Chain A
Amino acid sequence: MTQLARRHAVNAAMTLLTGLAVVVALIPLALLLWLVVSKGASGLSWSFFTNLPTPVGEPGGGIGNALLGTLYLVGLACLVGLPLGVGAGVFLAERGDGRFGSFIRFTAEVLSGVPSIVVGIVAYGLVVVPMKRFSALAGGVALGLLMVPTLARTTEELVRLVPGSLREASLALGIPQWKTSLRVVLRTALGGVITAVLLAVARAAGETAPLLFTALNNQYWNFAPDQPTASLTVQIYNYAISPYEDWHQKAWTAALVLLILVGALNLTARFLTRSGLTREQR
């Protein structure tokens, strides 16, 4: 009986310890949320979302151009990253069993571990240098490239989950392989792929490093792909490293906006996963 009692005690202690570990792990997250909300919320106003930034001390400045810039950059990134990432994923799942497939898979794995600033340098070399200017396009390419490896691997996993019987059903109808892959197989995995895309977009929206020397920044509205563009993350960075109290406040508020944006994307992805868009196939 004493041994059983001891075991119970050890069990309780271990449960407590692991529970404690969870709490400790959650502290930074809670702190982060609390800090950003408490410091940033006071700066929230309609004009903060719609106005251009103002010089130090001048009231009424906003992050309208940076918010729009982030959406614009993410849009460009999707143009680059979605076809490449999803296409590569479908290829890997449907035709990737050979050596070439293993090579691509290995490359994607290595690339997904590359620091984002390195991807920024690649985009700098690919787009900024030949164009001789910083541009939204360069930022979009950087973020797009960043999306490709994870998107490719996730898409591959999801497409592999589609039962082979659906491929056979389609092929037996005389539907060519490529149409079978895109219109039947990818279509079936689409719910999951959309979730993966949203997560990739959320990640791209939160990137700063690859934008520093590609999209740079812009104090004004910009819709031209060949001009520098503001983004939330770079704006936060610039405000945060400035010596001005006013700008620090704006950095906190902008950070809150970014957090809400990324959080909303993640939640939407979660919701889609749950709501059965990715319902398990037989």
Chain B
Amino acid sequence: MTAKADKISVEGLSAYFGKTQVLRSVTAGMPAKSVTAIIGPSGCGKSTLLRCLNRMHELAPGARVEGSIHMDGHDIQGRDVDPVHLRRLVGMVFQRPNPFPTMSIFDNVSAGLRLNGIRGDHRTMVVQCLRQAALWDEVKDRLRAPAISLSGGQQQRLCIARALAVEPEVLLMDEPTSALDPIATAKVEDLIHELKSKYTIVIVTHNMQQAARVSDQTAFLYMGELVEVGPTEQIFTNPREARTEDYVTGKFG
């Protein structure tokens, strides 16, 4: 893997829910226009780490963060940073597809544009996003149909299109395929390959094969601690840490 400049760099990041500490001084960089996978057993803090990157973590009651996160050299937790603006730059796709149930397919994709008052040719932008999300051919004849009429896999790609519409630079994906069948999963994984030429992607996954398939870099979290981060190939074939090896070879987790 060629060394790319880090889009995001996390330093000494600790996160809490009230008194419970879920992340312990995590330090990692996420290279621009590549895919970073975060793996680890349930409850190890993967999702929390992801949610710190677009400051969704702070929405939980009693949530608190220590340490720093820089994006393109800017401290995203700085006082001058509006989390609402940050989230337009850092899009997110969730574990379960969550299209807006009252809106049509078209309106779901354009929701971020409309509700943020972004002007321009929404139709062109929606078509472009649906194409990018590899959904266009399946929905082009029924853009006015309700979003919930789509299948689960289609809904998830719709959510990806929706996230792309506000033109983010980073895309966070929180176990985006855990609610999907293998065929839909394969489609989303292909999509991730396509998208990394334009976006910096951070994906949380339970599935180690998935991490191996889609990511350039892998971070292994265990009990809130970053055990190891490195090129995916190295993590899976020649990890430095014994715990990483035990996890990726299925000895625990």
Contacts and interface: CB of A to CB of B under 8 A. Distances in A.
B136 interface: no
A171 B54 CA distance: 10
B84 A176 contact: yes
A172 B56 contact: yes
A173 interface: yes
A97 B102 CA distance: 26
Interface of A: 97, 163, 165-166, 168-176, 179, 183-184, 187-188, 190, 281-282
Contact of B56 (A97, A168, A175, A183): A168
B98 A188 contact: no
B94 A171 contact: no
B163 interface: yes
Contacts of A184: 100, 111, 115
A173 B116 contact: yes
B221 interface: no
A175 B91 contact: no
A166 B97 CA distance: 10
Nearest to B91: A172
Given A172-B91, A175-B112, A175-B115, 20 more contacts: A97-B61, A165-B98, A166-B100, A166-B101, A168-B92, A169-B94, A170-B115, A172-B54, A172-B56, A173-B88, A173-B112, A173-B162, A174-B84, A174-B86, A174-B112, A175-B116, A184-B111, A188-B100, A281-B101, A282-B96
A176 B159 CA distance: 18
B19 interface: no
Classify chain B's interface size: 20 to 34
A185 B101 CA distance: 10
A184 B92 CA distance: 17
B163 A172 contact: yes
B119 interface: no
B85 interface: yes
A162 to B, nearest CB: 9
15 contacts: A97-B61, A163-B98, A166-B100, A168-B98, A169-B99, A172-B54, A173-B112, A173-B162, A174-B86, A174-B89, A174-B116, A174-B166, A175-B115, A179-B115, A184-B111
B98 A169 contact: yes
Nearest to B54: A172
B163 A173 contact: yes
Nearest to B108: A169
B116 A190 contact: no
Nearest to A277: B102
Contact of B96 (A165, A183, A188): A165
Interface string B208-224: 00000000000000000
B59 interface: yes
Closest 4 CB pairs of A and B: A174-B88, A172-B92, A173-B112, A174-B87
Interface string B156-168: 0001001100100
Interface string B40-52: 0000000000000
B159 A169 contact: yes
A74 to B, nearest CB: 27
A174 B148 CA distance: 22
A188 B101 contact: yes
A171 B100 contact: no
A282 B88 CA distance: 26
B102 A174 contact: no
Contacts of A187: 100, 102
